[in-house]
Structure 1
Amino acid sequence: MARYIAILDIDDEAVGAEIPDCPGCTAMGRDEDEAVQAITEALREWMADRIADGVAPPVPRSIKMLDRAGFLSGTPGSPAVFASIPLLLDESRLVRANISLDAGFLKTIDQEAKLRGLTRSAFLTSAAREKISAGR
């Protein structure tokens, strides 16, 4: 899975995020966590549009490469904050998967999915997406 570096711009009011390898892919949040969630979704949408136009995804660069390219020369005295953002693309094609879970845990999953108005598959996909987005 490809991961892109996001640069976070933090001030007292909000946190902005941008992915230099994906021009125009930006997002905002009230704090760092919200900005990372927003830029993860923005990257997914930005990349889906690019792929739909028949353009290949850009190759993600490392922090060192971005620094050499001049993207990390931020405001003096302002710490550079980075986030590694996973590229989570949908293929709009469902695939059946056979997994094994504890029976009691499966009941809990089904109850939580129902409370949220989701199917078991949608709930598990959402949980996996959140876990992957949170990083390692």
Structure 2
Amino acid sequence: MRFPVVLHTDDGVRYGVTVPDLPGCFSAGDTFDEALDSVAEAIDLHLEGLVEEGSEVPVAGAIAEHRANPEYAAGVWAVVEVDVTRFDGKAEKINITLPRRLLARIDEYARAHGSTRSGFLADAARAAMR
């Protein structure tokens, strides 16, 4: 999942990072790149804590939604990719029956998007959980 983050600096070198979609999740780094690396780890740890408490992984909003917040006015925006699949729980195999034409359309769509039927269905299931 892609999380928008906002970076702030007082000296143009070291950066503090805030994750607007995860209240209380923040990080810092001695360079811009280090700040992005450290916030990815902070997001992962924050999500782990949420899931352990029984909460769901929040859906990340768009940068445009957060830009209006005056707290982030002087910040630089970036997006950090975090793999949230480990928070979906253990995989469980199920058998389903679908109409042949629907399966053909799923296969066609998946192929056109560089995926497979199972990959497409797994992505669709994860999206439905959010």
**Alignment TM-score, normalising by the size of structure 2:** 0.59
- Cα distance between partner residues in 1 of 2:53 and 2:37: 25
- Cα distance between partner residues in 2 of 1:58 and 1:70: 22
> Cα offset for 1:87?
1.9
Aligned 8 A contact 1:15 1:31 in 2: yes
> Cα offset for 1:88?
2.4
Q: In the alignment, which residue of structure 1 is the partner of 2:127?
A: none
Alignment partner for residue 83 of structure 2, among 68, 84, 88?
88
Aligned 8 A contact 1:20 1:71 in 2: no
Overall identity of the aligned pairs, in %: 25
Q: In the alignment, which residue of structure 2 is the partner of 1:32?
A: 32
Aligned 8 A contact 1:48 1:89 in 2: no
> Cα offset for 1:15?
0.7
Aligned CA-pair RMSD? 2.4
Aligned residue pairs: how many? Answer: 89
Structure 1 segments (4+ residues) deviating >4 Å: none
Kindly report which structure 2 residues correspond to 1:50-129, keeping only aligned pairs within 5 A, or say none.
50-74=50-74, 80-89=75-84, 91=86
Matched residue type, 2:42 = A
What 5-or-longer segments of structure 1 have no aligned partner?
75-79, 94-136
Report Cα offsets for 1:71-105 as digits up to 9, x if no partner.
5323xxxxx31110112247399xxxxxxxxxxxx
- Cα distance between partner residues in 1 of 2:6 and 2:70: 12
